[in-house]
């Protein structure tokens, strides 16, 4: 099992976050990486809260997984945050229900309403948040560190799986029989909102199915952009 060499460091990092950065939260987007972290947090019995963002446009398979997670890990229930109704209705009135197809700006405006604002509520009052980001995922993530200070949200951000490969993630999921999104078996390696996600073809980048009508260097929703400088420990 290739992941076994990286597992101790990942477990130690998670334990140190729970110990030294309480209250800490884990942003579970219900992707494959996030299911690894959910399983580890629950098995280690860590005092790390778990939350997820329901944008109102998620695939049915994602909602099914969310229910499975609740049944599998009752010790760590997932708190779900929703967009503000008024802001969502205003976006739809101004741009249309699928206005995000019209331009990068309109797509990012939709993400701001459905993801960024709920995220800020989820992070309020926390000392740290945890993500399932990996360097291998996309061009926009190759320079990420395993820990950074998120100046935009005023707390530390940790990426415990930053060095894991896609193969290692799946080795862990299968070895521990961890539930995952059924869309992964239909060539959806990266899953977001239903209208913004498609299956990929052999040889395509793993995030090619996200916002496929845009250039690769713009393919972030804003949750993980370095909009303001992030400082690394000791810098």
pLDDT tens digit sequence for 171-209: 999 999 999 999 999 999 999 999 999 999 988 888 788
Percent of the chain predicted with pLDDT > 90? 78
Task: Check pLDDT > 50 for residue 229.
Answer: no
Q: Strand, coil or helix: what is 92?
A: helix
Mean pLDDT, range 79-91, rounded to an integer: 98
Mean pLDDT of 94-112: 95
CA distance 14 to 41: 7
pLDDT surpasses 50 at 230 = no
- What class does CATH assign to 2-218? alpha beta
When pLDDT is averaged across residues 80-97 and rounded to a whole number, the result is 98
Distances (CA, A) of 72 to 14, 27, 34, 66: 20, 18, 14, 10
Catalytic (active site) residue 175: no
Is the pLDDT assigned to residue 235 strictly greater than 80?
Answer: no
Cα–Cα distances in angstroms (integers) from residue 10 to residues 17, 93, 103, in the given order: 11, 45, 39
Q: Which residues does the annotation place in the binding site for [4Fe-4S] cluster?
A: 110-111, 193, 196
| C-alpha to C-alpha distance for 188 and 87, rounded to whole angstroms | 29
The tens digit of pLDDT for each residue in 127-166 reads 999 999 998 765 555 668 889 999 999 999 999 999 999 9
Question: Quick one: which of 138, 115, 121 has its CA closest to 196?
Answer: 115
Catalytic member of 115, 164, 221, 224: 221
User: Angle 182-184-188 (CA atoms, 0-180°, nearest 5)?
Assistant: 125
Least confident of 42-51, 60-69, 153-162, 200-209: 200-209
User: Annotated binding residues, as ranges?
Assistant: 110-111, 193, 196
Residue ranges of the domains in the chain? 2-218
């Amino acid at each position: 099992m290739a992941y076994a060499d990286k597992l101790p460091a990942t477990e130690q990092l998670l334990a140190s976050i729970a110990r030294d950065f309480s209250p800490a939260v884990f942003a579970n987007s219900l992707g494959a990486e996030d299911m690894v972290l959910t399983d580890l947090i629950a098995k280690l019995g860590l005092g790390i809260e778990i939350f997820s963002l329901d944008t109102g446009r998620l695939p049915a398979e994602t909602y099914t997984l969310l229910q499975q997670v609740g049944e599998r890990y009752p010790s760590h229930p997932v708190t779900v945050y929703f967009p503000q109704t008024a802001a969502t209705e205003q976006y739809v009135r101004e741009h249309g229900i699928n206005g995000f197809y019209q331009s990068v700006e309109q797509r990012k405006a939709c993400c701001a309403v459905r993801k960024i604002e709920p995220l800020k509520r989820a992070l309020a009052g926390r000392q740290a948040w945890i993500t399932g980001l990996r360097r291998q995922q996309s061009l926009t993530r190759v320079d990420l560190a395993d820990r950074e200070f998120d100046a935009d949200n005023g707390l530390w951000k940790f990426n415990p799986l930053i060095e894991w490969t896609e193969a290692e993630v799946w080795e862990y999921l299968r070895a521990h029989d961890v539930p995952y999104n059924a869309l992964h078996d239909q060539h959806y390696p990266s899953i977001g909102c239903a209208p913004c996600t498609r299956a990929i073809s052999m040889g395509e980048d793993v995030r090619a199915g996200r916002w496929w009508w845009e250039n690769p260097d713009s393919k972030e929703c804003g949750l993980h952009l370095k909009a303001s400088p992030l400082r690394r420990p000791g810098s």
